[in-house]
């Protein structure tokens, strides 16, 4: 099998079929039709934001901390290299104030 190919399971095939019928169908409708929970109907079950001082720190977080959690099978990372403006970010020293 080529490295860029994969096999879809039954749920993914049903999801693709539903999206071919209505590409704007909400997750709630798709999950009802294919018989899964809405939380498992997309790639973004959990979204989080972290601030790392370096690439090495981000790598350590992803491999040592997040990678050690058995129930996490994959992760998508979108690094932000420079923040021009972000409403509501308040720092106390070097840490975010919550």
pTM (2 decimals)?
Answer: 0.42
Alpha helices in the chain (DSSP H): 10-21, 27-34, 55-60
How far, in Å, are 12, 21, 42, 45, 74 from residue 7 at the CA level?
A: 9, 21, 17, 22, 17
Q: What's the average pLDDT block by block, 10 residues per block, for the chain (98 residues)?
A: 67 85 86 75 67 90 89 82 70 72
CA pair distance 26, 42, nearest whole angstrom: 11
């Amino acid at each position: 099998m080529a490295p860029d190919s994969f096999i879809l399971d039954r749920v993914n095939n049903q999801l693709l079929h539903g999206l071919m019928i209505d590409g704007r169908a909400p997750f709630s409708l798709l999950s009802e039709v294919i018989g899964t929970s809405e939380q498992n109907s997309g790639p973004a079950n959990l979204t989080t934001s972290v601030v790392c001082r370096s690439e090495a720190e981000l790598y350590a977080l992803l491999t040592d901390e997040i990678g050690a959690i058995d129930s996490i099978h994959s992760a998508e990372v979108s690094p932000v290299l420079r923040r021009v403006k972000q409403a509501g970010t308040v720092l106390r020293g070097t840490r975010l104030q919550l």
